[in-house]
Structure 1
């Protein structure tokens, strides 16, 4: 029963965060969805999609209203700390709506995790109190853990996409594109192969086209991912944007340095893996090997000892 409650809490947390992420994606893709609906107006299934979309919007709106109600209070400021805002910034939800939904999840999930214990389990005394506290704490901390894992995955993905971005910029610069045209081309044409950095560049281009400077538009990319290589690339882009000049050779050297860095990381990971496998082999194979090697000697010694004992 306890395992069932824990699985229920995990499922509710995953469902809440999935709905939050899904609603943000729908908000960013609303114009594309509207165009698709107009092209397929007479196709079957349009009404159920609209109903599901409306339901998700109502649920996320309810979460947002709950979060906004508590966001100005001390409880809300404690539940959405500065490190949580940094993680929300990494995943692209550092706005009033994202913070409100995250706060609502952190408020409701502990209650939802502890409620089945009150209704279903017939525990009494200290055991019931301990289980309630454990479920409440798990529900309170689980959104923070999932948010941290989500942000960490995006940071790793951005680091993996960076060498491809450098190569694309170098090729476009060699084809006669300016830096602004190269960034626009990468964001428009290559977002499917670089979902994280492509989205960042698309948002940066949108900010730049609405009047922000290039440095301001790339500020989120430079600070959110805590990656020195991304910061160095942004600094190189800003220098080229401000002062001009040939950038193919610096990009080539930068790409080679990234490949060498990734090669060193892979070698380090392989070295750590070999150490772990050595420990596994010692634990699993060494006892069997000792039994195979020493077993016949022990059997022979036992037979000799029994013969000597019978002779006496």
Structure 2
């Protein structure tokens, strides 16, 4: 009888639980639609708010563009510097289109950086020559013939002539390294934006806002590309300018893929997905290459610094005992 009573209680408990679940489901299906309200109205309201925010951001951007336009008028070189460079015709002697492209890749845009670069290549040899003469004749007072001291000063002037070029090369390498490290992440973000329904212009703007924390030069380049996509008549020129300004093979491949996607009408998301996978693979291969090159690089420091100390620790006590014994 006890067993039958327990079975009866278990059956009643199951019936009560199922009844409660059915009642809860009925109430949920009846009450939730009343609480949700009109989804269309709320979504349209959110869209209107987003449109107002975009309009406010666009007005702020236009105001910044006007301010930058006024500032760009001040980006002219100094009159004395410009007069000297133009009088000596240094633009034709020491610069060409490649020099202007290198300045852009280093992050220097406009006319003023070109004049500053040319004036520095003219002025640095003179400064280093005079400094070397003063240092060798007055400060050090070397016990050497005067021709040797003059030769040292000429060597310093030769270094000063190429010092701005070396500085520019170093600046380009640092900027390209920053862009190259952040470029795969930027491609992933761009792919997410395009697949979510954004246009390529909005994707560039969104990614430039997000990637600025990781790489400021890449954010600048994406912002310039977004502006060129909006104002240039041929969108292909905007992508080509992005590849030329960065000078990186990965950026060039992505630019070519975007140009082909717009020319032949293929989905941009497909091209971005392929290029994102390729850049991710290249980054992994570069990391593996650095890891594989680490043992040969550590061989010489280990031989020079670690091996003598290790031999001294191992053989030192035996040598001390042998000297004490004999």
CA distance in 2, matches of 1:58, 1:33: 12
Residue 196 of structure 2: which of 172, 175, 179 is its match? 175
Q: Decide whether aligned partners of structure 1 residues 279 and 32 sit closer, same or farther in structure 2, where only a CA change above 3 A counts.
A: same
- Asked if 1:90 corresponds to 2:90, the answer is no
8 A Cα contact 2:180 2:248, kept in partner: yes
Residue 69 of structure 1: which of 66, 87, 92 is its match? 87
8 A Cα contact 1:179 1:241, kept in partner: no
Which position in structure 2 is the counterpart of 1:101? 116
Let me know the Cα RMSD of the aligned residues: 3.2
**TM-score, normalised relative to structure 1:** 0.69
Please give the secondary structure, in 2, of the residue aligned with 1:273.
helix
Cα distance per residue 1:71-128 (max 9 Å; x no partner): xx3x553433565334213124465433222111111111122223445633561132
Which position in structure 2 is the counterpart of 1:155? 176
- Asked if 1:269 corresponds to 2:290, the answer is yes
- Asked if 1:251 corresponds to 2:287, the answer is no
Q: Decide whether aligned partners of structure 1 residues 209 and 292 sit closer, same or farther in structure 2, where only a CA change above 3 A counts.
A: closer
8 A Cα contact 1:66 1:100, kept in partner: no
Map of 1:100-249 to 2, 5 A cutoff? 100-119=115-134, 121-122=137-138, 125-187=146-208, 190-249=211-270
Q: Decide whether aligned partners of structure 1 residues 303 and 193 sit closer, same or farther in structure 2, where only a CA change above 3 A counts.
A: closer
**TM-score, normalised relative to structure 2:** 0.67
Cα distance per residue 1:244-289 (max 9 Å; x no partner): 3433344233223222211221222123233322321221121122
Residue 80 of structure 1: which of 95, 104, 123 is its match? 95
CA distance in 2, matches of 1:202, 1:233: 16
List gaps (5 residues or longer) in structure 2.
1-63
Q: Number of residue pairs matched?
A: 255
CA distance in 1, matches of 2:93, 2:237: 29
Please give the secondary structure, in 2, of the residue aligned with 1:218.
helix
8 A Cα contact 2:77 2:112, kept in partner: no
Q: Decide whether aligned partners of structure 1 residues 132 and 84 sit closer, same or farther in structure 2, where only a CA change above 3 A counts.
A: same
Q: Decide whether aligned partners of structure 1 residues 69 and 34 sit closer, same or farther in structure 2, where only a CA change above 3 A counts.
A: closer
Q: Decide whether aligned partners of structure 1 residues 216 and 262 sit closer, same or farther in structure 2, where only a CA change above 3 A counts.
A: same
List gaps (5 residues or longer) in structure 1.
1-27, 36-55, 307-312
Offset of 1:137 from its aligned partner? 1.2
Map of 1:291-306 to 2, 5 A cutoff? 291-302=312-323, 306=326
Q: Decide whether aligned partners of structure 1 residues 212 and 62 sit closer, same or farther in structure 2, where only a CA change above 3 A counts.
A: farther
CA distance in 1, matches of 2:85, 2:146: 34
CA distance in 1, matches of 2:183, 2:205: 16
